[in-house]
Structure 1
Amino acid sequence: MSRVICIAGESGSGKTTSMRNLDPKTTLYIDCDKKGLSWKGWKNQYSEENKNYIRTDFVSTVLSALDKADKEWKHIKVVVVDTINGLMVADEMRRSKEKGYDKWVDLAACVWDLVCKAHDLREDLTVVFTAHTQTDHDDNGYMFTRIKTSGKKLDKIVLESKFTTVLLSKCVDGAYKFETQANNSTAKSPMGAFDQMEIDNDIVEVIKALEDF
């Protein structure tokens, strides 16, 4: 069973940048937002020519890439899917003229199947999903942050339930951090994996910390 991690946060909170220290030789980067990466020199590290960069917002293409990483590209140790929202929104827009409940069921099933597939890959493979968040407020001023989804069906499913590790990316006094446990949010991590509520936003260190889980 592969290791699956979710990095969730607002735009600009450091989700993509947290991947900066991954080894391009053993990483497959799937850019679902089609916006490129967020550090200087990334084009020399990740490209179609290097066969470690895929730019797509089709879930079927991501599923195919995961299958190849699992069975053929054995040198790949980490697959990044950035962002899962890019896939959801693209599918929703492509089907914008469709009416009825079935469209939302199909969208929910598509995303659910993708995350489930990520769990069924070889044991030495880590799949990292990034996701945008939304913060809800009630009339009493209570705030709660969770993964932003398209459609009420995915809200009812609770996408976070498919991950044992959901780290919330945030900027604290100019420093980019990961929140490791729930603090008015759906952040969570295995017991004993992290000693602090906030850690540096480096996915390489996160993967090391989760090796025994």
Structure 2
Amino acid sequence: MAIVTLVLGNSGSGKSFSMQNLDPSLCGVINVMGKPLPFRAGKQFRKLNTDNAYEINDLLPSLKAPIVIIDDFQYIMANEFMRGVTDEGGGNSVFQRFNRIGQNAWNILNTAINNTHPDQRIYILSHIEEVEGKTKIKTMGKMLDEKIVLEGMVTIVLQTTIRNGEHYFMTKNDGTTTVKTPHEMFANELIPNDLNAVDDAICDFYGIAKNHNQQAQIA
């Protein structure tokens, strides 16, 4: 069973950039939009470019990388929705499409949590939206949100924030987010947006040894 962490934030707030201190040899990146990573060493990461929910769901159990990153999860849902906007059909077909998108998102998270390798860390990067004064993972609207609460499926949810020009992760919920972390995993409410430091904290908390001799495999 892997440890799955949601890393949420607006575009440009440092989600992908937070990967820069990770050891590329330990990582496999599922690159949903096929974008270059926003730092010089990004080309060293092993990447698979796909937004196909079924392919991602089937691929996750076979990945050997100690660290797996899905960037950007929200576009798995959004791209599937946009490809179907010209489909003919009434309200029932739209309803079925939203159901399928919701099921695919749930399937990926469920597979990541339950059908991956022990001690593997999976980081799912995604955008946020504000609903009734509270930020949450961006999905495809109320119809999907009524069926599943994606944050409720995991133990760790971080959210990016920018304070005085510096980029951070929030580790504590102030009532306006879905942020949550295990008690005493992080000492501070704001930590640098460094996914390697987050991974170190998770490994320390759960007693996981980082194996720097293990070669990541993404495909």
- Answer with 168-177 or 93-102: which moved more: 93-102
User: Structure 1: which amino acid aligns with 2:128?
Assistant: T
* 2:67–2:120 contact (8 Å) kept in structure 1: yes
Matches within 5 A, 1:189-208: 189-208=181-200
User: Structure 1: which amino acid aligns with 2:105?
Assistant: V
What is the number of equivalent residue pairs in this alignment? 197
Residue 163, structure 1, aligned to residue 163, structure 2: no
Matches within 5 A, 1:31-110: 31-43=31-43, 45-46=44-45, 52-69=46-63, 73=64, 76-98=65-87, 99-110=93-104
Secondary structure of the equivalent of 1:41? helix
User: Structure 2: which amino acid aligns with 1:200?
Assistant: P
User: Structure 1: which amino acid aligns with 2:38?
Assistant: S
CA distance in 2, matches of 1:180, 1:155: 23
Residues 51-74 of structure 1: CA deviation (Å, up to 9, x unaligned)? x211111112212331221xxx3x
* 2:61–2:112 contact (8 Å) kept in structure 1: no
Secondary structure of the equivalent of 1:38? coil
CA distance in 2, matches of 1:208, 1:186: 22
* 2:57–2:107 contact (8 Å) kept in structure 1: no
Structure 1 residue 114: Cα displacement = 0.3
Residue 28, structure 1, aligned to residue 19, structure 2: no
CA distance in 2, matches of 1:86, 1:34: 11
CA distance in 2, matches of 1:56, 1:104: 20
TM-score of the superposed pair, with normalisation by structure 2: 0.85
Q: Which runs of 4+ in 1 moved over 6 A?
A: none
User: Structure 2: which amino acid aligns with 1:144?
Assistant: K
Partner residue of 1:119 out of 110, 113, 119: 113
Secondary structure of the equivalent of 1:192? coil
CA distance in 2, matches of 1:127, 1:41: 20
- Residue matched to 1:131: 126
Secondary structure of the equivalent of 1:185? coil
Secondary structure of the equivalent of 2:94? coil
Residue 172, structure 1, aligned to residue 163, structure 2: yes
Structure 1 residue 208: Cα displacement = 1.7
CA distance in 2, matches of 1:126, 1:41: 21
* 2:74–2:138 contact (8 Å) kept in structure 1: yes
User: Structure 2: which amino acid aligns with 1:161?
Assistant: G
